[in-house]
Structure 1
C-alpha cells in the first residue's frame, strides 16, 4: 500500500472494524471507464497488435506504379522483437534510408518498408489523413438553431437569445464599418450576399475572408468588429464543453458524425488498406467476428512458405490464445473493429475477465458484479466454466449475482436481506445452494427450487399483428415475422443473434422514419404511441436525481409550499428547489458539497460547511411535513416515502410505480449519474407509466430484469401483465427465464451470434418452444421449469 503513494489517498476508509485473511484483490465492475473513441475490441485485447505484426512482416501489396504484387522480403529480423515492444514508433516512412524500403521486382520502384505503425489508426503512418483514424468526420448542420427567414437582430440565431443577439448585431455591423463593406444585421440571413454569408458563418478571422482583404488588419477587440462567425462560435463552444465535460443538447444537435468519405469508416490510409495476407486485408479482418477470425488464423499455415511460417507461428499462437479466451466467455460474436464505447457494461466486464484468465495469477480475490447481465443461459454455462478455472488456479471468486442457475453452481452462498434498503443489510442465510434452498428465512432459497416456477399456458392471442417483412439490417437474414399486438412478447436468443437489431434498429427506427434495411412494416397504424425504454444513462448532471427526473419533486415542492409554516415564512414553491436562488444554500449552490481543486491532486468533494450537506437554507429546513424537512425527504428511500405520502395520491401513486419496478430501495435524492443501466431503464419505465393510462401503446424494453432479484422480477412481470391487460403491447428483449416463461409469445433468434445468427429459429408460446430441438432457449427453459 505504501508503494501506491497518492493513489490511495483519495480512497475513503471502509466502514468495517476488521477484515482478516484478505488476499490481493481485483474488482471487475460493469462500469465502462474506457471512453476513448479510438479504442476497439482489437486494441483492448491486443489481438489487433499481433495482427499488425503479421501484416508488417508477411503482408503483400500492389506496386503503386505498375500494380505488380510486391512480396515480403526476409532480411535481418534481429529487430523483430524490438519493433513489437516499440509501439510508439512514429518516424515518417517518406524519409526512408537503406534497409527501410523494398523494391518492386517488376518496375524497381522503391516502396517504404511496412511497419506495425503502418496498420495502426492511432499513428500518422497508418491512419487516414482525412479523419485521423476515427473513421468518421464531424459536420455542422445549423438548422436546429438558425432561422434564415429572420435577421440577426430579429433572432435568426436561436442560441444567442435576445441579449446576445443584440450584442452580435452590433459587432456584425461594426465589422462592416471596419472593412468598409455593407453588413446589415437587419437583413434576413437568406438574403445575404456571398461576403455577408462568409462573415456571418465563418467570421473575419477565417482564412477565406482574410484572402479577400489582405491589407486590412483584423480588429483586436470584439467591439471593434472582431465577429467570429456562427460556425466558428459553435465549434469553439462544442470544444469547450467537451473539455469541461458539459453536455449541451442544442449545440450537440448541430453536430452530425458522418462516415469518412475517403476511408469509408475503415480508419486506415489507402496504402495500408491494400496490404493483404492470406487474401485478406487487415480492414476485412476488422469486420470478422471473433469466431470467424479464429477460422482465418487456422487456415494461414497451409498457405505460407516455410520462411513465413517461422515468423507467423509464435504470433498466431498469441492471437489464438486471446481469441479462445473470448470464445470461452461467450464473446465470440464481437468483431475486433467494434468500438469499446459501444459495448454494454456486461460485455466490457467479460472482456476484462478474459484477459485476466490468460494472466495465470494465483492467490487473488476476484470480485465481480453481476457478470451474467445480458447473457443467454447458454453463454452463462461458458462463464461459469471460466470462473471455475480461475478458482482451480488457486483464486477466490466473489460474485454478486441474481441468476438462479449461476447461484445453484456456486460453492458457497451468502444471502442478504430480509428486504431492501434500510430493511436489509443482514445475512439471512449462508451455506451451500442446497442448504440455502432449505432455509425458510431465505427469499432466494425459495426460488432455487422449481416448485415456485410457472409457465404461461397457451391462450387465444389477439388477431391484430405488426408484420415485419424482409428485414436485413446488420446480421438479419431477410427476416419475416408477425408480432401479436396487445400481448407480452419476448425476443430471445444468444448474445449477438440479432434481437436488438430487429427490435430497435429495424422496428423502432422505422417508426422514427429513419433509413432502415427492411422492405416494409405493416400494422403500426393500430398503435397510437411508441415508448422506447432502453438502458442508456439518464444523464450525468450532478443536479439530476430520482425525484427531479420522475417529476415527483415538483409535487413535493408544491406540498411543502402550501404548509402553514411555509406561508408564515413567505416561502413559495421556488424556495424548495435546490436548483434556483431563493431557498437553496448559496455557498454550495444547492449541491450539498463543495468541489475542492487540489491542484496536482484529484479534485475532491467535501460537505458544505454552511448547510452541512442539506442543500437548503435554515428557514426552509425548518418547514416540516410529518416531522420531515425537504432535505430529509430526499435522503429517505422510496419505500420510506411511500409510508409518509400515503395520504397524497398524486405523489403516492408515482412512488408505488417506482416500487413496482423494483426500485423501492433507492433514495429519492439519489443522483441519476450513479444508477446502473438496469436501474435507468426501470426508472424510465416508471416515469412513462406515471404519465398516462392510454391504450394502444407499444412499449419496447431492453432486458428490464437486469440487476433484479427473482422476487423483484415477479413484481415486474405482474406490472407488465397489467399494462398488457389495459390494452397495450409490450415487446421485450430478454434472457431471464422467469420472464420468458411468463411471455404470451416468444420470437427466438439464432442459431448463434454474429454472422451465424439473424435467423428466426422459433415463433410461438413458452409451452411450444420447449419442444423445439433447434432452440437453445427452449432447451434451457425446459430445464429451468423441470
Structure 2
C-alpha cells in the first residue's frame, strides 16, 4: 500500500511544477503546484504577489536553470537572473516570458519584423520576385558582355572611364586574399572604400568594419578604335567581379559617376543594371535596402512634426527594392495590408508562380500563413504588417510577440504571460482564449497573470493570491478549478465569479447642458465622426480593438484641446500631420487638460513613486526640521539620494553594487557600506519619530500614511496614492519595476493631490490595466470624486465594471481597422444596452442585469 501511494505521488508530481517555500518580495513561503501542459491563471488583488510568483519566481528559476546548464564559455555571453528566494522548484521546463514591456523594439521595429513575417517575405521576394527597372518600369533581365560593351562605346568621345571589378561589397574583414587575387591577375591598383590606390599603398584594413574593394582593370579615354580594348577589359572585369562590373566615368570637369553593369540583371528597354536581388535588398535595417534619405525610418522631422519621407513615401526602402514584385505586388504593398488581406494574398500565390517558384514559396507560405492566422485570432486583425512597434499598446505588443511563439512550433516550454487580454474588447476574448489553448495543446504549459473573468473561467487551474496587497498578501487563498475557487468564501475572486460582489451601478446618470463637440474627425480610420462629450461627466470611450478609440481621443481630441488652451485659438490643419478634423467647440469652458497615460514615470532606478509624486520633497523638509538636522546644519537637500552630500559615496545612492563575474553572469549585491539604505552614515543618524529617511522609503504607502498622519503636507499626497489602490507600493520602489497600470495610477494619484480647478479635463487610457475587480471599484470611486468636483473625465476602456459606472458612453465600430472608425452609438450605458445588434451593448446588458 505504501509503495502504491508513493508511486501515485510521484506520478502526480511529474505532471506538475512544484513550488515550495517561495519568499520572493511579499510571498510568504508559498507552496503551490502548477499543472504541466495545462492553462493556469494566477489572479488576485493588485500587489498581492501574482507577478512575484509567476515572473520573479517561476520564470526567473526556469531561465536560471537553463543558463546554468550551458558551458562556462556560453554563459559569459548571456545575462542570467539571480536565484529567486525559494526552497524548491521541480518539474520546471524551459520558460519564456511574454510581457507588455517594449523590450528591444526600436524605431524600425514593425509588426512584421517582430513576428518574423518580414524575414520570410524578404526571402520570398528575393527568390521568386520579378525586378523592374527603376527608370522605365520594364522587367529586368540578364545583360550580355556584348551589350555592356555597346553601352560603354556610346559614351561621348573624350569621356574618361575607369573599369572596376567588384571583389568585396560591404563585408567585414581585412581581405588580404582579395588583394592577392588582384595582384595575381596582373593588376596594380584598386579602389578601396571609394579611394583609388596602388596595391602597395593599401594599408591593413580594420577587421571589424565593412569594406568595399574593387579591382581597377583599366583606365580609358573613349575614342574611335578602342573597341577591342574595351571588350578585353570588360571580359576581365566580369570574370574577376563574378558577373559584375562598375564603370566610373567623368565628362569634362564634372564629377565621377558610377554605373553598375551585370551579366545577371539588366533592363531590356533602357539597358540599366541592378545588383543581384538578395534578402538584404528588402531590409530597412541594412544599408543595402534602407532608403538613403531617411535611413530606413520612413519619416523625417521638420520644424513642426514628423512627416513621411519624401524620397520613399514612408516605405523605408530603396527604389530598387520597391521595384520588385510578386504576383503584381511590391513588398511595401504587402506590408501595408491588414492581416486578413495579407493572408488572402499569400494563399493565392500558387497560380501566379512557375512550378520551381511554387516549390520555393511553399515552406515560406506555410510559416507566414500560420502567423497571420494567429494574429487574427487574438484580436489584432486590424493591424497592418508595417505598423510601427512603438505605436502598439502593451496588450497589442504582447499578442504580436505571442504570434512568434506560435510560429516557432516549440514544444515542452512553460510560457508566462502578463495580462494578454489588455486592450481587448470582451467580444475578442474567446479568440484569445482559443489561441492560448492552441499553444497549450501543442504540448506547452501556459501560465497567465490575468484579471479577465472569461479567461479565469476558461482555465484548467485558477490560483488566487491574497488576501490583500503588500505585506497583507503573498498567500495562496485557493488553488483549484474555477468552480472550486467560486465556492471559496475567503476568495474575493471567487465571490465575484459567484456573482456575490458586483460593480456599483449609479442610481442616476449625470447630465449637463454644456458639451465639448468634435466634428468631421478623419484621423487614421475614422469616417468623419462627430461626437458630443458632455462636460462635468464621466465619459467612457468603448468599441472593439482597432475601432478608432485612440485615434479619436489620443490623436485628435487631446492635440486639439491642448493647442487651443495653449494658443487661445483653434488648431489649424497644418499643425499636425496626423490630426484631422473639421471643427471643435466647447474648449472655452475648460481651463486645464490632464492626460494620464501608461508611460513610465522614470527610466532609471533612481526614480520612484516618492520622487515622482513629490512626496519625497515634503518628507525631506520634515527631516530637515528635526532637532538633529538643525544641530548638524543639514538642509532638505541632505536627505536626497541624488545629492552627493547625503547619499552613500560607494553605491552613489543606488543601494546596490554591480559585481562582474567574468565567465558567470554579473551580480547586483547589496552595497556593503550602506547596507542598501542609499544614504551615508551621518544622514541616517537623523531620525523622525525614531525612523531614518531610509526607513521611510522602505515603508509602503499604507504604512507611511499612518506614520505621517499628523503631517498634513505629506499625508495629503500619500492618501491620494492610497485612494487609487497603491497602498501596497513601497515609496522607494524603483520606477523600472512598475507596470504601465501602476505608473498611470501614480500619475492619477499625484493629480488628485493637486488643487482642483473644477474645469479640468482628465483623459485616461485603460486605467483598469492590472486591476482586480475589487480595485476597479475603488478606481471608479476616485474618478467619480473628480467628476463631483465639477471636472470632466474621459476614459478609453474595455472593462465593463468601469463602463457601467460612466454617465455617457461613445461606442465606435463596427470592427477594427479600415472597416471600423464609425460612430455606432452614444448615450448612457442603459441606452447602449437597449440597442439591438450593438456588440458593446450586449455585454453591458449582461453586466447591468446582474
Place the TM-score, normalised by the shorter chain, in its bin: 0.7 to 0.9
**Is 1:363 the equivalent of 2:426?**
no
Report the alpha carbon displacement of residue 699 of structure 1 after superposing the two structures with TM: 0.4
Partners of 2:305 and 2:529 lie apart in 1 by 30
Q: Which residue in 2 is equivalent to 1:97? A: 243
Report the alpha carbon displacement of residue 694 of structure 1 after superposing the two structures with TM: 1.2
Report the alpha carbon displacement of residue 669 of structure 1 after superposing the two structures with TM: 0.7
Report the alpha carbon displacement of residue 38 of structure 1 after superposing the two structures with TM: 2.6
Q: Which residue in 2 is equivalent to 1:487? A: 537
- 1:456-498 per-position Cα deviation (integer Å, ceiling 9, x unaligned): 4563511211111101011111111111111111111122111
Classify the secondary structure of the residue corresponding to 2:582. Answer: strand
Q: Which residue in 1 is equivalent to 2:454? A: 405
Partners of 1:332 and 1:609 lie apart in 2 by 53
**Alignment check: 8 A CA contact 2:142 2:263 kept:** no
The aligned runs of 1:446-461 (5 Å cut-off) are 446-453=495-502, 454-456=504-506, 459=509, 461=511
Provide closer, same or farther for how the CA distance between residues 352 and 100 of structure 1 changes in structure 2, counting only shifts above 3 A. Answer: farther
Partners of 1:481 and 1:756 lie apart in 2 by 19
Q: Which residue in 2 is equivalent to 1:132? A: 295
Classify the secondary structure of the residue corresponding to 2:541. Answer: strand
Q: Which residue in 2 is equivalent to 1:341? A: 390
Q: Which residue in 2 is equivalent to 1:613? A: 676
Provide closer, same or farther for how the CA distance between residues 434 and 70 of structure 1 changes in structure 2, counting only shifts above 3 A. Answer: same
Q: Which residue in 1 is equivalent to 2:430? A: 381
Q: Which residue in 1 is equivalent to 2:722? A: 659
Partners of 2:530 and 2:142 lie apart in 1 by 48
Partners of 2:452 and 2:807 lie apart in 1 by 22
Q: Which residue in 2 is equivalent to 1:210? A: none
Q: Which one of the candidate residues 381, 387, 394 is aligned to 1:332?
A: 381
Report the alpha carbon displacement of residue 542 of structure 1 after superposing the two structures with TM: 2.9
Provide closer, same or farther for how the CA distance between residues 96 and 772 of structure 1 changes in structure 2, counting only shifts above 3 A. Answer: farther
Q: Which residue in 2 is equivalent to 1:29? A: 99
Which runs of 5 or more structure 2 residues have no equivalent in the other structure?
1-67, 144-169, 173-209, 215-237, 245-261, 564-574
Provide closer, same or farther for how the CA distance between residues 625 and 131 of structure 1 changes in structure 2, counting only shifts above 3 A. Answer: same
Provide closer, same or farther for how the CA distance between residues 766 and 594 of structure 1 changes in structure 2, counting only shifts above 3 A. Answer: same
**Alignment check: 8 A CA contact 2:107 2:388 kept:** yes
Partners of 1:353 and 1:711 lie apart in 2 by 29
Partners of 2:359 and 2:651 lie apart in 1 by 66
Report the alpha carbon displacement of residue 430 of structure 1 after superposing the two structures with TM: 2.1
The aligned runs of 1:284-683 (5 Å cut-off) are 284-304=333-353, 308-453=357-502, 454-456=504-506, 459=509, 461-513=511-563, 514-515=575-576, 516-596=579-659, 604-683=667-746
**Alignment check: 8 A CA contact 1:57 1:72 kept:** no
Larger deviation, residues 270-279 vs 321-330 = 270-279
The two structures have a TM-score, normalised by structure 1, of 0.78
Which structure ranks higher in relative contact order (CA pairs < 8 Å, sequence separation ≥ 6)?
2
Partners of 1:393 and 1:460 lie apart in 2 by 51
Q: Which residue in 1 is equivalent to 2:843? A: 780
The two structures have a TM-score, normalised by structure 2, of 0.73
Q: Which residue in 1 is equivalent to 2:69? A: 2
Q: Which residue in 2 is equivalent to 1:226? A: none
Larger deviation, residues 8-17 vs 412-421 = 8-17
Report the alpha carbon displacement of residue 526 of structure 1 after superposing the two structures with TM: 1.0
Partners of 2:297 and 2:603 lie apart in 1 by 25
**Alignment check: 8 A CA contact 2:419 2:449 kept:** yes
**Alignment check: 8 A CA contact 2:171 2:211 kept:** no
Structure whose CA Rg is larger = 2
**Alignment check: 8 A CA contact 1:657 1:686 kept:** yes
Partners of 1:673 and 1:292 lie apart in 2 by 39
Partners of 1:315 and 1:618 lie apart in 2 by 64
Partners of 1:642 and 1:734 lie apart in 2 by 30
**Alignment check: 8 A CA contact 2:510 2:537 kept:** no
Classify the secondary structure of the residue corresponding to 1:358. Answer: helix
Q: Which one of the candidate residues 744, 762, 769 is aligned to 1:706?
A: 769
Q: Which residue in 1 is equivalent to 2:85? A: 15
- 1:742-778 per-position Cα deviation (integer Å, ceiling 9, x unaligned): 1111111111211121111111111122233333222
Q: Which residue in 1 is equivalent to 2:317? A: 268
**Alignment check: 8 A CA contact 1:761 1:774 kept:** no
Report the alpha carbon displacement of residue 281 of structure 1 after superposing the two structures with TM: 2.0
Report the alpha carbon displacement of residue 96 of structure 1 after superposing the two structures with TM: 6.5
Classify the secondary structure of the residue corresponding to 1:620. Answer: helix
The aligned runs of 1:118-267 (5 Å cut-off) are 118-137=281-300, 259-267=308-316
Report the alpha carbon displacement of residue 705 of structure 1 after superposing the two structures with TM: 0.6
- 1:215-272 per-position Cα deviation (integer Å, ceiling 9, x unaligned): xxxxxxxxxxxxxxxxxxxxxxxxxxxxxxxxxxxxxxxx976543311221111222
Report the alpha carbon displacement of residue 687 of structure 1 after superposing the two structures with TM: 1.0
Partners of 1:511 and 1:320 lie apart in 2 by 43
Classify the secondary structure of the residue corresponding to 2:823. Answer: strand
**Alignment check: 8 A CA contact 1:527 1:698 kept:** yes
Provide closer, same or farther for how the CA distance between residues 559 and 112 of structure 1 changes in structure 2, counting only shifts above 3 A. Answer: closer
**Alignment check: 8 A CA contact 2:116 2:404 kept:** no
- 1:542-599 per-position Cα deviation (integer Å, ceiling 9, x unaligned): 3221111111111111112222333333333222222223332223332222344667
Q: Which residue in 1 is equivalent to 2:47? A: none
**Is 1:764 the equivalent of 2:827?**
yes
Report the alpha carbon displacement of residue 306 of structure 1 after superposing the two structures with TM: 5.7
Report the alpha carbon displacement of residue 117 of structure 1 after superposing the two structures with TM: 2.3
- 1:690-716 per-position Cα deviation (integer Å, ceiling 9, x unaligned): 111210110010001100111111000
**Alignment check: 8 A CA contact 1:380 1:406 kept:** yes
Classify the secondary structure of the residue corresponding to 2:86. Answer: coil
Partners of 1:100 and 1:746 lie apart in 2 by 65
**Alignment check: 8 A CA contact 2:134 2:323 kept:** no
Partners of 1:442 and 1:64 lie apart in 2 by 67
**Alignment check: 8 A CA contact 1:584 1:616 kept:** yes
Q: Which residue in 2 is equivalent to 1:116? A: 279
Classify the secondary structure of the residue corresponding to 2:657. Answer: strand
Partners of 2:730 and 2:509 lie apart in 1 by 40
Report the alpha carbon displacement of residue 91 of structure 1 after superposing the two structures with TM: 10
Provide closer, same or farther for how the CA distance between residues 765 and 471 of structure 1 changes in structure 2, counting only shifts above 3 A. Answer: same
Partners of 2:301 and 2:660 lie apart in 1 by 33
**Is 1:63 the equivalent of 2:133?**
yes
**Alignment check: 8 A CA contact 1:34 1:340 kept:** no
Classify the secondary structure of the residue corresponding to 1:355. Answer: helix
Classify the secondary structure of the residue corresponding to 1:706. Answer: coil
Classify the secondary structure of the residue corresponding to 2:368. Answer: helix
Provide closer, same or farther for how the CA distance between residues 129 and 570 of structure 1 changes in structure 2, counting only shifts above 3 A. Answer: closer
Provide closer, same or farther for how the CA distance between residues 697 and 661 of structure 1 changes in structure 2, counting only shifts above 3 A. Answer: same
Provide closer, same or farther for how the CA distance between residues 602 and 395 of structure 1 changes in structure 2, counting only shifts above 3 A. Answer: closer
- 1:727-750 per-position Cα deviation (integer Å, ceiling 9, x unaligned): 010000111111111111111111
**Alignment check: 8 A CA contact 2:741 2:769 kept:** yes
Provide closer, same or farther for how the CA distance between residues 105 and 689 of structure 1 changes in structure 2, counting only shifts above 3 A. Answer: same
Count of residues in correspondence between the two structures: 659
Classify the secondary structure of the residue corresponding to 1:631. Answer: helix
- 1:622-667 per-position Cα deviation (integer Å, ceiling 9, x unaligned): 2222322111000111111111111222211211111111111110
Provide closer, same or farther for how the CA distance between residues 599 and 312 of structure 1 changes in structure 2, counting only shifts above 3 A. Answer: closer
Partners of 2:543 and 2:455 lie apart in 1 by 18
Provide closer, same or farther for how the CA distance between residues 541 and 355 of structure 1 changes in structure 2, counting only shifts above 3 A. Answer: closer
Report the alpha carbon displacement of residue 67 of structure 1 after superposing the two structures with TM: 4.0
**Alignment check: 8 A CA contact 1:408 1:433 kept:** yes
Partners of 1:402 and 1:65 lie apart in 2 by 57
